[in-house]
Amino acid sequence: MQFTYIIGSTCMLKTFLQERQYSKNTISAIKHNGALIVNGQPETVRKQLEIGDILNVQLGQETASSNLHPFNQPLNILYEDDYLLIVSKEANQNCAPSRDHKHFSLVEQALGYFKDTNQWLVPHIVTRIDRNTSGIVILAKHGFLHHLMSKTVIDKTYLCICYGKIRSQGLIDAPIGRDPSSIIQRRVDIAGKQAKTKYKCLQYENHYSLCEITLLTGRTHQIRVHLQHIGHPIVGDDLYGGTHPIYKHQLLRCSKVSFIHPIYNETIEIQDKYDAIENIFKMI
C-alpha cells in the first residue's frame, strides 16, 4: 500500500509524516520493509523536503499472525475500497479469536477473503462487536489505516428488541465498571467510567419493544448493561437478565455507521439493509 504527496512547504520528511499522523511504529515499519521515495530516489526520514517535491510513501508489508487460520466463507460485504472493508456479521461469531473460540473468527474469514482476491493484506478490526451481537463491523486493510480510524469519530446506531414497554425515548447516563464477581460481566457502578446511551422506541407489541440505540460512549457491553439497568433487558441476553426460551443470544444488531473517511475526507454512511432484528420483531 502506498501514498503519494506533492510537498507544499519545506520541512524534514519525518516532520511531514508525523503531521499526517504516521505513528512511530508505522514509520519504523517503513524503515524495515517499506520505502520513502522523493522525486524517484530512496531517502531517509532526515531528508529535507522542498516545495514541489513528490513524496511516495510505501508502507511496510504486514504479516498475519501464525495463530490466525484463514478460511473461505462468503462475507456479507457492505462497502470496500483500497483502505477499508465493511461487513455485516451474524451472531455466534467472534470478531477475533478468543480463548474459548480460537478459530472461525471474522478476522480469519476476512484474511481468507483477502487471499482469495489476491490482496496481500492483514485485516485490522476497527469496530468490534460482541460474539452474540450481529451487524456492521469495520475492518482496516493496514495498521496505518487502523491508526487513522482510531482517531476518527464513528457514529453507530443499533436496533434491539427488549422486554417491556419502554418509554418513547430517553438518555441513560450511568457509569459502567467491571462486576467484581465475574471476569466477563459489567454493571452500573458509581466508580466506573462515564457511559451514555440514547434510545428511541420504534414499536411496541406483545410486551416487547423494538428500539433504536445510539451510543454516545463506547463501554464494553454498554447497551446491554444500560437496558438491564432501566428494567428492559435485551431479549435473549442471558448474561444481563434477558433469558428467552427460543432466542439464545441477545437480539441486538449494529444497523448503521457513519464517519469521515481518513483518506478521501468524505462522509461514509453505511446501513445494513437486511435487518434480522426487524424481521424477528414481526414474529416474536
Give the model confidence (pLDDT) of 154-166 as tens digits.
999 999 999 999 9
- Per-residue pLDDT at 180 exceeds 80: yes
Terminal Cα-to-Cα distance of the chain (whole angstroms): 47
Give the H/E segment covering residue 140.
strand 134-140
**Does the pLDDT of residue 275 top 80, yes or no?**
no
pLDDT surpasses 80 at 259: yes
pLDDT of residue 252: 97
In this prediction, residues 130-147 reach a mean pLDDT of: 96
CATH architecture of 62-151: 2-Layer Sandwich (3.30)
Q: Are 109 and 95 in contact (CB under 8 A)?
A: no
| Mean local confidence (pLDDT), 135-157 | 96
Quick check: 284 pLDDT over 90? no
Q: Identify the pLDDT of residue 32.
A: 87
Phi, psi of 279, rounded to the nearest 5 degrees: -65, -40
Give the pLDDT confidence score for residue 279 in this predicted structure.
87
Residue 274: pLDDT above 80? no
* Local confidence band at 115 (pLDDT 50, 70, 90 cut-offs): very high
Query: Catalytic positions, please?
Result: 130
Please compute the mean of the pLDDT values over residues 206-215 and round it to a whole number.
Answer: 96
Residue 5's identity, in one-letter code, is Y
Structural contact between residues 177 and 193, judged by C-beta atoms closer than 8 angstroms: yes
- Nearest-5° angle of CA 205, CA 206, CA 212? 40
Q: What is the pLDDT of residue 254?
A: 96
276 pLDDT band, cuts 50/70/90, is confident
The x, y and z cell numbers of residue 26, run together, are 508505522
DSSP collapsed to 3 states, 202-267: EEEECCEEEEEEEECCCCCCHHHHHHHHCCCCECCCHHHCCCCCCCCCCCEEEEEEEEECCCCCCE
Average pLDDT over residues 229-233: 98
Q: Is the dihedral of CA 59, 261, 148, 197 positive or negative?
A: negative
Rounded to the nearest integer, the mean pLDDT of the chain is 95
Check if CATH label 3.40.350.10 holds for domain 156-254. Answer: no
